[in-house]
Structure 1
Amino acid sequence: MPMTRLLLLSASLLPLAACATTPAVPPMPATPLVQPVPAPPPATAQSEHAKLFAIFTASDEASLKRNPLNALFRGDMRYSDQLGDSITDAYFTGEKAAAEHDLAALGTVDRSVLSETDQLAYDTFKFSTSDTLRGLQPDLLALTKVRPMNHFYGFHTFYPTFASGKGAAPFKTVKDYEDNLTRHHQAVVYLDRAIGRWREGLASGVVDTKLTVRNMIEQLDTQLKQRPEDSPYYGPVKEFPAGISAADQARLRAATRQSIVTELYPALTRVRDFLRDDYLPHARDSVGLSQMKGGDQLYRYLVRSTTTLDMSPEEIHQLGLSEVARITDGFEKVRQEVGFKGTLAQFFDYMRTAKRFQPKSREGLTEDYYRIGKAVEAQIPRFFSTIPKAPLVIRPYEPFREKFEAGGSYEQGTPDGSRPGTFYFNAYDLPSRSTWEETTLFLHEGEPGHHFQISLAQENKDLPEFMRFGGNTAYVEGWALYSETLGYEMGFYKDPYQRFGTLNDEMLRAMRLVVDTGIHSKGWTRDQAIAYMLGHSGMSRTDATAEVERYIAIPSQALAYKLGALTIQRLRHKAETELGPKFDIRDFHAQVLMTGALPLTILEQKIDRWIAERKAA
């Protein structure tokens, strides 16, 4: 289950910006010695709060100008005709300068006089900006900017959905349609610049894997086989909102088709042909970062950045092995409870192939998820004191991208609720999907997982913008995985087959610790990783293959889920133990959720303070 679509924009999410610091007090004029210059007044919590939030505001405003898609995803249409420049040297130089400027500005704030909440914001901003700055240093940037897209995080798959009329880009006015055409011009520029970046990698010897390149070629082939009128790009002009004249509709329809035929398709064809003819022959046969030039160094950074924890790949690998062993015991109990007579491996085969567990249609899957959603919503008041204003909609991935997507994902709505959050599920190869995985998937991607965490943060106007809209993978995915475990208390896993489903998803996250580190630090092959996942879970081969190829494309991201969830579970257990009858699950969830996606070390500090305050009350 990938991160939200906004998070997929990666660099454009970074809470960086050049900002104006509070000007220095001008020197006092010369005065008689009997009148010494008074010392500056001591910093107060109020004045330092104002300075801190001025830094946050200026940083966010500057960041939105450099990364206009972030503004559009928020519903801020000031830069709606811009995609942004997120691939050039000038962009990276600007992001680096902004991070340095922000950290310098932060250093002018006296943290010691800030309130606890402001200190939380200070620490989170410093942590995330420092991490971003490290990733923009020349040694690491040389390893990342020359691999601008892959089959999992790719502009070529993001943009069709974004511009389809069903994504984040609005289509309510004539200007919205004209902005879309302007963005199409810029999309072509981006795609051609991506080819330039890949050429740089060929020259420097930093290249991607053949597997990833072949997958991108197939994705592009799939798009280019569609008639222009059947492509996602044509979607907005198939039906217009009221208020757009017939003349404008005809003009916009013709202009959109023209843009597809003369701009977008030729650009996508250039990317496809370059990857196939020029890049693929020189791509790596190996799949792990440790086999790429500079890859060991990059992987260590990615692990730290993604997890927000100081853990080595070997420590994570060993933790994964222990979690796999623990969850295997849970599978055995389910096997015995349902009376299956074969081995655990045979039970896995049965669960992944039995027709009784295979959904019959996309429509049936959609109905299942809405039914599950109603059951979950009935339980929510027991666990949460605040729920999002934004509604949640459910739909399958579009056919052009479903083959390479995971089982599900979430795309956030707007803070004012005008665009709902969307839970996408995968209906590709229906026999490989299983009804026993539906409940846990909904809890993760929908309610109370990503939809609650992301919506509650961005709807909280008391937070600085970077805490409302930024985040880190360990917290975001850790919360979503923790949300799956609430299904036990909600009563959804009394059925042993549904319990198998949540164990299977928990096992997936445990195996990720083993497999991701295996691939990128121990030299595991693709087939070795797939075999490991099939041997320890009820996953279908289709899902296991997609998962492994995802880890190959985006190293370290998959580590965040389990490490984040284990942290939240540990903090909850600590709070329950120390508070006893004073513990309230709704209060605990509010403490975790209502200040945005915190680095895990900072989240732990916050919960420790809350426990101490509750004990003293």
Structure 2
Amino acid sequence: MKKLLTICLTVALVFVSCKEDVKKDIITTKNSDFTAMLANYSEGKLKLNPIEATFIGDGRFDAAFPNYLSDDFRKDWHDFYSSYASQLKEFKDADLTESEQMSKGVMEWDCEMALAQSSFKNDLYMPINQMWSVNLVMTQWATGTSAQPFKTVKNHEDWLKRLEHYNVWLETAEKRMKEGVAEGYVLPKSLIKKVIPQFEALTKVNTSAEGITDLSEHLFFSPVMTLPDSFSSEEKERLTEAYSKLILDKLIPSFKSMAYYLKSDYLDAGLESSGISDIPNGKAYYDHAIKFYTTTNMTADEIHELGLKEVARILAEMEKVKEQVGFEGDLKAFFNAVRSNKALMPYTTPEEVIANFNTIHNKMKPQLNELFANKPKAAFIVKQTEKFREASASAEYNPGSADGTRPGVFYVPIIDASAYNVFSDEALFLHEAIPGHHYQISLTIENEDLPEFRKSLWYSAYGEGWALYTESLGKELGLYTDPYQYFGMLGMEMHRAIRLVVDTGIHSKGWSREKAIQYSLDNEAESEASITSEIERYMANPGQALSYKIGQLKIRELRAKAEEQLGDAFDIREFHTQVLETGCIPLALLENKINNWITTTK
């Protein structure tokens, strides 16, 4: 009997074991299918958007530039995301690992937003603005010092092919803008006036008294001026001729045509108002933009009220700094005093401004280990923003390449070094450079555990929210010992709080450009020129400015929750690892992740 029982138990266990093995095999197969789908999705996205591929250092598509404005491309876009949205439904969460479930959630969101975006006509009929459009990327790359590589003959041949395709895009852009005017899709006049000189600058060439054209100062001729010595004389001559012909025969005529159209019929048709609500379907588009950029379901009214509360809170903190430095007068007078304080404008050359940022970096290096367990391998540099776009540019970070051959770059616009005010430089460096965008983006690119498609995703609420959150780490990193630098941090946080008010004001409450500028002047210490550029930035890209504060508040909320619930078990290095290790994800997925970490740690 005992032997029979043993045999029965053995058979039962073998049966159960076999069932488990079959189940594991099924799950493994499904996981393999899921992994393959993610890989195909990533590859497909790069083919759809080869500009993104170049940005991340994947040179396979450096010669491509799809006509994003063509009907064929828009159909391909819709079909691509529709297909993967359907494929995702075949995979059940129960069959996926925790990491795969996160990838599924991210991909669902990615497809949903892409399909929603394609349902609007804004990008089709308003493809060019003064700050965000792809023509500015191409102009930046033409300098030969950005993401597009110019090290080999093939690099130059790829760029020349890309420029041929780009010229087709330029011609289509003008055609689409004319169609847009007919349907009521057009930029505000104030933005059109900023775009005109950008194109006019690209129409000019030097001609000698003998009638010989000199392209040496034309921006798109820049790669020729730095052809490597390793190229043969024949290669140099061939490439020089190809660049000259393309620029003179195609690009300059397209630039001239666009410049003429912008300053004539398009400017005449430009909106007198400022908000997106004044174009067809504008309210629905703004609702979509809020969801896309904040990754939440908040309404414009909710965000507006939140902004007003944050402005009031930060103003109270600013009052304390004003009292600390012994300033007599109200806060608005203090703003003006900070703006015009010559002691805060100590430099005469751009090189000195750049050197100050490197000094800030060196000052905080010893404390970084206390807050971060993981640091990127990618190199990092600070550069002045190129002159052709400096007048309309904000400080920004451009990521390095995945293979480490191109460093991450913190670009700083320095129009006049003698008028450059340093009062917010510490917070600016934390946000744009370290540990802000450089850490977040580089660690994502370098994370071998993430599927490729997640390495190049950008959700502004997470990415910009993280960067704004890092501004508050200044004291923990040994910065903000100068009250003016701390005031600069408050000023930058105020700047993002104001965005909640003015972006929703402009796009959902009928605010004019001038009203938004005045509200900003009343509540922050930025110069009027800087504020004007910022307000016009919000006009050009509705909703994007909301992402910073919404994301920052969520990360701060999650940190406070973890500190409270974990007590002595809370580890700030581990918290930052948890936030950063998944790359850019919608805020709801980040909140679920941190909540699970808190529960597991407890």
CA contact (8 A) 1:387 1:452 kept: yes
CA contact (8 A) 2:349 2:418 kept: no
Is 1:182 equivalent to 2:161 in the alignment?
yes
Amino acid at match of 2:310: E
- Please give the alpha-carbon distance, in whole angstroms, between the structure 1 residues aligned to 2:418 and 2:527: 9
Structure 1 window deviating more from structure 2 (303-312 vs 273-282): it is 273-282
Q: Which residue of 1 aligns with 2:78?
A: 96
Q: Which residue of 2 aligns with 1:278?
A: 265
Structure 1 window deviating more from structure 2 (128-137 vs 537-546): it is 128-137
Q: Which residue of 2 aligns with 1:5?
A: none
Identify the match of residue 31 of structure 2 among 49, 69, 81.
49
Q: Which residue of 1 aligns with 2:283?
A: 296
1:432-581 equivalence runs, <5 A: 432-581=419-568
Amino acid at match of 1:162: W
- Please give the alpha-carbon distance, in whole angstroms, between the structure 1 residues aligned to 2:328 and 2:181: 55
Q: Which residue of 1 aligns with 2:596?
A: 609
1:224-235 equivalence runs, <5 A: 224-225=203-204, 227=206, 228-235=215-222
Identify the match of residue 349 of structure 2 among 350, 357, 361.
361
Structure 1 vs Structure 2: percent identity of aligned residues? 38
Consecutive unaligned residues in structure 2, runs of 5 or more: 1-18, 207-214
CA contact (8 A) 1:66 1:85 kept: no
Identify the match of residue 399 of structure 1 among 378, 387, 391.
387
SS in 2 for 1:109: coil
Amino acid at match of 2:594: I
Amino acid at match of 2:253: P
Superposition RMSD on alpha carbons, in Å? 1.6
CA contact (8 A) 1:516 1:555 kept: yes
Is 1:125 equivalent to 2:112 in the alignment?
no
Deviation of the 1:435 alpha carbon: 0.8
Is 1:416 equivalent to 2:395 in the alignment?
no
**Runs of 4+ displaced beyond 6 Å:** none
Q: Which residue of 2 aligns with 1:149?
A: 128
Larger Rg: 2
Per-residue Cα deviation, 1:204-231 (whole angstroms, up to 9, x for no partner): 2222211111111122123334653123
Is 1:106 equivalent to 2:94 in the alignment?
no
Q: What is the TM-score when the length of structure 2 is the normalising length?
A: 0.93
Deviation of the 1:85 alpha carbon: 2.7
Per-residue Cα deviation, 1:483-534 (whole angstroms, up to 9, x for no partner): 1111121121121010011000000000000000000011111111111111
Is 1:197 equivalent to 2:176 in the alignment?
yes
Distance 1:534 1:431, change over 3 A: farther
CA contact (8 A) 2:66 2:73 kept: no
Identify the match of residue 243 of structure 2 among 256, 261, 284.
256
Is 1:374 equivalent to 2:389 in the alignment?
no
CA contact (8 A) 2:186 2:270 kept: yes
Q: Which residue of 2 aligns with 1:170?
A: 149
Deviation of the 1:587 alpha carbon: 0.7
- Please give the alpha-carbon distance, in whole angstroms, between the structure 2 residues aligned to 1:471 and 1:391: 21
Deviation of the 1:372 alpha carbon: 1.2
- Please give the alpha-carbon distance, in whole angstroms, between the structure 2 residues aligned to 1:74 and 1:435: 31
Amino acid at match of 1:543: S
- Please give the alpha-carbon distance, in whole angstroms, between the structure 2 residues aligned to 1:490 and 1:76: 35
Deviation of the 1:242 alpha carbon: 4.2
Is 1:330 equivalent to 2:317 in the alignment?
yes
Identify the match of residue 86 of structure 1 among 55, 65, 68.
68
Q: What is the TM-score when the length of structure 1 is the normalising length?
A: 0.90
Q: Which residue of 2 aligns with 1:318?
A: 305
SS in 1 for 2:392: coil
Structure 1 window deviating more from structure 2 (326-335 vs 432-441): it is 432-441
Is 1:585 equivalent to 2:572 in the alignment?
yes
SS in 1 for 2:69: coil
Amino acid at match of 1:94: D
- Please give the alpha-carbon distance, in whole angstroms, between the structure 2 residues aligned to 1:292 and 1:82: 32
Deviation of the 1:163 alpha carbon: 2.3
Amino acid at match of 2:130: H
CA contact (8 A) 1:432 1:540 kept: no
Q: Which residue of 1 aligns with 2:253?
A: 266
Per-residue Cα deviation, 1:52-98 (whole angstroms, up to 9, x for no partner): 11111111112222222222222222222112232211111111111
Structure 1 window deviating more from structure 2 (593-602 vs 459-468): it is 459-468
CA contact (8 A) 2:204 2:218 kept: no
Structure 1 window deviating more from structure 2 (515-524 vs 224-233): it is 224-233
SS in 2 for 1:104: helix
Per-residue Cα deviation, 1:110-160 (whole angstroms, up to 9, x for no partner): 2112221111111111112112112222xx2x2331111111112332211
- Please give the alpha-carbon distance, in whole angstroms, between the structure 2 residues aligned to 1:419 and 1:64: 19
Q: Which residue of 1 aligns with 2:118?
A: 136
- Please give the alpha-carbon distance, in whole angstroms, between the structure 1 residues aligned to 2:74 and 2:417: 42
- Please give the alpha-carbon distance, in whole angstroms, between the structure 1 residues aligned to 2:447 and 2:186: 42
